[in-house]
């Protein structure tokens, strides 16, 4: 989630209902450039892929385009631009941001039927571009599921099989913790590495794949943009409790995990302090380079005792911002983003810095674009992935869930069911506040 998780929430009181895009003037291919914001670290490999993508779009369309890469305080800066009625024309951002951006009036509706190439995009990806009212406010761009990246060399040294059940997974984590898989004669390895801190809601983001793998959920959609909290469902409780046992009973999670985000956790895994990382595909190329191609494997998250299969589904959408004076150019950008050519450029092969993780265009041959077969594990898991529900603003739900779940993992005396029962009440209140109950 290092870049997929939403930034710090902005107060609903700041919401604006009439916004404009001041960066562009004229229409179509006017004198001004189409301004595109993307949530990427400037000068990072992903930023460079985005630059290539924009350059190829300009060649294909003739639309002059200006790329702006931002990472820190991305949503806050968007909020400031909205207040100034100077939004960019296009924003490439997390699928989880749709509800909040649409609720504030920042997005114009996308007429799916009029978008060239829309029939090539998977229905699941289109689902992540729809708000609670059932209308589409974005074009899908990138998708991802989650899987287990495991130290294959450790597993083989201990003569264990890849995990197929949660019982297998717990046993592998215990062996990695107790049987010196790196062979240095010191008890300095653990099973799981986990970004289980509260910053940006990491704890709830991390456990969500286990919750979905066990058939649980955070909220239940009732239709018509209305939802009911389901965070205290027995299947959800079971998943959170299973992970609490890894922290508190088996003690198979790396020390400090309850304070860590993904930036730290990536490094913990690379340093060989733990051997199982439940994460998205965006770090695969990095770990191949830093840990070793022959030392890691990717395994699907096993079904939980009460459900499955399922993992968190995430990705990025192309949002066409309301008030732009360059609507034809916006349309062309969205169409290029979902096209076969655009998807291939964004994937960036097996190299670091893809801005398209799993393609949303069904015509892309994944095996032809990426020679590393480990990508297929993520692709195979995607059809069962579960996206963030399109409530008006998911930020407070994710953060409040992270605070509660993190507390249950950090304090082994906490009763998980009681904690989630209390969280259920908090969720119900939040749904009422957002008029989504």
Domains within the chain, CATH numbers bracketed: 12-145+313-387 (3.40.190.10), 147-309+394-433 (3.40.190.10)
309 cis-preceded (ω within 30 degrees of 0): yes
Q: Give the chain's radius of gyration (CA, Å).
A: 21
pLDDT by residue for the chain (437 residues), tens only, comes to 443 433 333 333 333 333 445 454 333 344 589 999 999 999 999 999 999 999 999 999 999 999 999 988 898 999 999 999 999 999 999 999 998 899 899 999 999 999 999 999 999 999 999 988 889 999 999 999 999 999 999 999 999 999 999 999 999 999 999 999 999 999 999 999 999 999 989 999 999 999 999 999 999 999 888 999 999 999 999 999 999 999 999 999 999 999 999 999 999 999 999 999 999 999 999 999 999 999 999 999 999 999 989 999 999 999 999 999 999 999 999 999 999 999 999 999 999 899 999 999 999 999 999 999 999 999 999 999 999 998 988 989 999 999 999 999 999 999 999 999 999 999 999 999 999 99
Cβ-proximal residues to 26 (8 Å cutoff; 6+ apart), any chain: 32, 325, 326
Decide if 37 contacts 78 (C-beta within 8 A). Answer: yes
Calculate the CA dihedral of residues 106, 323, 361, 359 and round it to 10 degrees.
Answer: -50
Global pTM reads: 0.88
Both tokens of residue 171? Answer: 């046993």
Decide if 111 contacts 80 (C-beta within 8 A). Answer: no
pLDDT computed for residue 133 by the predictor: 85
264 cis-preceded (ω within 30 degrees of 0): no
pLDDT computed for residue 21 by the predictor: 55
Give the DSSP per-residue string, 127-174: HTTB-TTS-B-SEEEEEE--EEEEEHHHHHHTT-PPP-SHHHHHHHHH
H-assigned helices in 41-96: 45-61, 74-83
Geometric angle at alpha carbon 292, from 351 and 304, rounded to 5°: 90
């Amino acid at each position: 989630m290092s870049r997929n998780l939403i930034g710090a929430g902005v107060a609903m009181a700041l919401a604006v209902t009439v916004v404009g895009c001041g960066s562009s003037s004229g229409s179509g291919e006017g004198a001004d450039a189409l301004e595109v914001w993307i949530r990427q670290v400037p000068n990072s490999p992903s930023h460079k892929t985005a630059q290539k993508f924009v350059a190829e779009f300009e060649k294909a369309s003739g639309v002059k385009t200006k790329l702006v890469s931002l990472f820190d305080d991305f949503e806050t800066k968007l909020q400031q631009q909205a207040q100034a009625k100077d939004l960019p024309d296009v924003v490439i951002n997390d699928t989880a941001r749709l509800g909040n951006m649409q609720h504030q009036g920042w997005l114009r509706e996308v007429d799916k039927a009029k978008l060239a190439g829309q029939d090539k995009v998977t229905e699941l990806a289109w689902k992540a571009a729809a708000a609670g009212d059932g209308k589409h406010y974005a074009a899908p761009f990138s998708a991802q599921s989650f899987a287990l990246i495991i130290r294959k060399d450790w597993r083989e040294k201990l003569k264990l099989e890849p995990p197929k059940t949660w019982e297998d997974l717990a046993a592998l984590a215990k062996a990695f913790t107790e049987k010196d898989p790196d062979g240095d004669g010191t008890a300095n390895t653990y099973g799981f590495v986990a970004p289980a801190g509260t910053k940006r809601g990491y704890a709830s983001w991390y456990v969500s794949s286990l919750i979905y793998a066990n058939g649980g959920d955070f909220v239940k959609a009732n239709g018509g943009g209305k939802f009911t909290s389901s965070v205290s469902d027995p299947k959800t409780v079971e998943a959170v409790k299973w992970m609490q046992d890894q922290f508190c009973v088996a003690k198979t999670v790396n020390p400090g995990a309850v304070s860590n985000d993904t930036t730290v956790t990536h490094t913990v895994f690379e340093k060989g302090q733990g051997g199982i990382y439940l994460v998205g595909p965006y770090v695969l190329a990095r770990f191949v380079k830093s840990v070793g191609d022959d030392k890691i494997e990717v395994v699907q998250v096993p079904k939980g005792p009460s459900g499955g299969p399922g993992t968190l589904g995430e990705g990025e959408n192309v949002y066409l911002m309301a008030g732009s004076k360059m609507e034809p150019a916006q349309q062309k950008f969205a169409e290029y983003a979902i096209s076969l050519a655009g998807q291939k450029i964004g994937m960036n092969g097996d190299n670091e810095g893809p801005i398209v993780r799993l393609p949303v265009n069904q015509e892309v041959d994944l095996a032809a674009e990426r020679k590393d077969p480990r990508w297929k594990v993520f692709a195979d898991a995607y059809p069962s992935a579960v996206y963030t529900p399109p409530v008006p603003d998911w930020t407070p739900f994710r953060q409040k869930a992270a605070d509660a779940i993190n507390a249950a993992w950090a304090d082994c005396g906490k009763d998980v069911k009681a904690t989630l029962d209390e969280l259920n009440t908090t969720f119900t209140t939040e749904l009422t506040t957002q008029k989504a109950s």
